[in-house]
Amino acid sequence: MFDSLSARFDQIFTKLKSRGRLGEKDVNDILREIRVALLEADVNLDVVKIFTERVKNRCIGADLSKSLSPAQQVIKIVNEELVEILGGQSFKLNYASKPPTVILLAGLQGAGKTTTAGKLALWFKQQGRNPLLVGADLARPAAVEQLRILAGQAGVSFYSDPQDPVQTARGGLEYARDIGKDVLIVDTAGRLSIDYDLMEQVRQISTSIEPDYTFLVIDAMIGQESVETARAFHETLKLDGVILTKLDGDARGGAALSVKEVVGKPIAFVSTGEKQDAFDIFHPDRMADRILGMGDVLTLIEQAERSYDQDVAAKGMASLQEGRFTLEDFLEQMQQVKKLGSLQGILGMLPGVPKEIRSAKLDDKELSRVEAIIQSMTPQERRDPTIINGSRKLRIANGSGSNTTQVNTLLKQFKEMQKMMKGMGPLTKSKSKKKRGGRVTLPSGRLKV
């Protein structure tokens, strides 16, 4: 799921990062692209409007943090608002003070209710609970059998009464009390579309067992249409949350991104496959990271904010402005990168870094070698590498435990980087320096590998 949306965000952010300071027009351009990307992902129109409006307001009123580039700040805002749209916090389930905690599952046919009932039972069991599964879908004879099998696979108890769905649910509750089960999960019948009988039946079950939690199971593949279903169910049942299934499919993401805002109820759990353990509590923050395809970008930004030495950054900036960026600056910037943790890890976390580079072998050992080579140079050589002739190269290689080829490679890389940075010179005029803040916060992004 979310593959095409992720790809779109990746494109948008890559473009964003190639710009320096962002004006209102830039922000509007980005927002337009985000709007299109969300609509293509089948996100509800109202939700798209709310989302882009919030991002816009925050971008315009942004208090430009010194240690983040404008692009990083926009990404941070988009990420935070995405988490918000997805429900903010992870779902927290409170157990009833008087067991059992009663859970009612409702939804359309084929949404994944029965499968989910089994998964939920296993999940509770893994939390150290002792659940009872109740098969109250008597519309299809096979449904009860399906749940009985799932209960067996999960190793939990099962109850059903062939007479009547409401009686089954009620009987299940009494049975759970009798035999000391602490969680009751009731699977119900679904129809192909919402109809009066269906609603009436779940409503009666609900009245009879007074569930602590009523979850609507919805199929992510159906997109935002399933969110409309949720709205209808909510009117009758007073939902506590949604369980989103089939996230392993190629759903575009519309349902996940729309449901909280439209129904006002969070996604509690997600199902990501047919296997019984392909199921978990929903974490909005992790989902947002996944959508933005940026690994753990906020961790990176926070790490960068914490450990990047602003003075060194400023000095690097100054060198850039004057169009001189020496090997000494190069080394200093690299030492800063090292402070951030392993380079491989950082590249993995950086949004927009091409996959080839992310997986490229530039490990900390290599970084140490580069460091050793530069440290083996005289200060004069560091400032002006053009004086490094054959015999100097040999001396540097010997001094740093490397060979002349490695010294050559470093010098070549440095030259290219210097050229690249010179090209960026006009972007770093002193006036914009303050606003642009930590433009050089993440020099690793520019390391040639």
Ligand X SMILES: Nc1nc2c(ncn2[C@@H]2O[C@H](COP(=O)(O)OP(=O)(O)O)[C@@H](O)[C@H]2O)c(=O)[nH]1
Using CB under 5 A, list all residues that contact Mg ion: 113-114, 143
C-alpha span between 147 and 137 (Å, rounded) = 9
Report CA-CA distances (Å) from 352 to 4, 10, 11, 21, 293. Answer: 15, 6, 8, 18, 8
Total residues in contact with ligand X, by rule CB under 6 A = 18
| Residue closer to ligand X, measured from CB, 109 or 404 | 109
Among 248, 296, 328, 371, interactor with ligand X by CB under 6 A: 248
Asked if 109 touches ligand X (CB under 6 A), the answer is yes
| Residue closer to ligand X, measured from CB, 241 or 438 | 241
Asked if 274 touches ligand X (CB under 6 A), the answer is yes
Asked if 271 touches ligand X (CB under 6 A), the answer is yes
Asked if 115 touches ligand X (CB under 6 A), the answer is yes
Cβ at position 297, least distance to ligand X in Å: 27
Cβ at position 190, least distance to ligand X in Å: 5
Cβ at position 136, least distance to Mg ion in Å: 10
Asked if 295 touches ligand X (CB under 6 A), the answer is no
In the chain, the N- to C-terminal Cα span, in Å, equals 31
C-alpha span between 99 and 101 (Å, rounded) = 5
Asked if 107 touches ligand X (CB under 6 A), the answer is yes
| Residue closer to ligand X, measured from CB, 105 or 353 | 105
Given ligand X, Mg ion, none, residue 135, with its beta carbon under 5 to 8 Å by kind, binds: none
Asked if 111 touches ligand X (CB under 6 A), the answer is yes
Q: Which stretch binds ligand X (CB under 6 A): 91-99, 105-113, 196-204, 289-297?
A: 105-113
Given Mg ion, ligand X, none, residue 168, with its beta carbon under 5 to 8 Å by kind, binds: none
Q: Which stretch binds ligand X (CB under 6 A): 241-249, 295-303, 313-321, 434-442?
A: 241-249
CB within 8 A of 256, min separation 6: which ones? 1, 2, 86, 220, 244, 247, 267, 287
Q: What are phi and psi of 243, to 5 degrees?
A: -115, 120
Given Mg ion, ligand X, none, residue 274, with its beta carbon under 5 to 8 Å by kind, binds: ligand X
Cβ at position 277, least distance to ligand X in Å: 11
Residue with the shortest CB distance to Mg ion: 114
The residues pairing with 159 across neighbouring beta strands, listed in sequence order, are 134
Q: Which stretch binds ligand X (CB under 6 A): 5-13, 272-280, 331-339, 352-360?
A: 272-280
C-alpha span between 91 and 93 (Å, rounded) = 6
| Residue closer to Mg ion, measured from CB, 79 or 116 | 116
- Residues in contact with ligand X by CB under 6 A are 107, 109-115, 190, 217, 245-246, 248-249, 271-274
